[in-house]
Amino acid sequence: MPYALCFLLFMIGLYCAVVKKNMVKIVIGLAVMEYAVNLFLIMLGYRTGGAAPIIDKTYLEPGTTQITANFINTSVDPLPQALVLTAIVISLGSLALIISICIRIYERYGTFDITEIRRLRG
């Protein structure tokens, strides 16, 4: 069920990016799509009532470097969190670039409406 809602969020973002005529709304749609994907990644590693994936002494078998089965069964998956951090940084970069291009377009054309920004055809 959460996965379906996440997919719904993704589709809302896609709809917004494809249908809207205002450049800023398109950018918001792209951002919503990226958030939906990030949320999906985080949910893959989520575990209700799970522990943080940090190994300290209580999670090691006494006297060895073996990790206890208890830790493996309760901790959340750390990899999606690392992936999401990277993905957020990338989407920050691309959002900053696209917003700056929007500002430049507004300076040139004086509008955010993409139906009026049509010098290219063919």
Partner 1 sequence: MTRVLPAFVLIPLVMAFVLPLFGKKGKNAATVLANLATITLLVLAIACVGKKGVYQVGNWSISVGIILVLDGLSSLMLLAIGVVSAAAMLFSAKYMEQYTAKSKYLSLFMLMVAGMNGLVLSGDLFNLFVFLEIASLASYALVGFGCEHEELEASFKYMVLGSVASSFILFALALVYGNTAYLNMACVAKAIQTSGLNAGLMFALALFIVGFGLKSALVPFHAWLPDAHPSAPAPISAMLSGIIIKTLGVYSLARVVFNIFGVSVQISWLLIALGVLSMVVGVFLAVGQWDLKRLLAYHSISQMGYVVLGIGIGALILAQNGNVAWASLAILGGLFHLVNHAVFKTLLFLTSGSIEMSTGTRQIKALGGLVEKLPFTRAACTIASASIAGVPPFNGFWSKLILVVAAIQAGLFGLAAVTVIVSLVTLISFLKVQRYIFLGELPENLQGIKENRGTMLAAMVFLACLCVLMGLLVIVPSLRESILEPAVKVLTAGPGYWASAGIIKM
CA distance 114 to 96: 19
For 46: left if phi > 0, alpha if psi spans -120 to 50, otherwise beta; the answer is beta
Examine residue 76 and tell whether it contacts partner 1 (CB under 8 A).
no
First-to-last alpha carbon distance for the chain, in angstroms, is 44
The window from 46-54, 61-69, 86-94 that contacts partner 1 (CB under 8 A) reads 86-94
User: In the range 14-53, which residues lie near partner 1 by CB under 8 A?
Assistant: 14, 17, 23, 26, 30, 33-34, 36-37, 40-41, 44
Question: Which region, judged by CB under 8 A, interacts with partner 1, from 7-15, 46-54, 58-66, 67-75?
Answer: 7-15
Minimum distance, C-beta of residue 14 to partner 1, in the bound complex (Å): 7
Q: Are 46 and 71 in contact (CB under 8 A)?
A: no
Give dist(CA 82, CA 45) in Å, integer.
Answer: 11
The backbone torsions φ and ψ at residue 38, rounded to the nearest 5 degrees and listed phi first, read: -60, -45
Q: Which residues bind partner 1 (CB under 8 A)?
A: 10, 13-14, 17, 23, 26, 30, 33-34, 36-37, 40-41, 44, 79-80, 83, 86-87, 90, 93-94, 97-98, 101-102, 104-105, 108-109, 117-120, 122
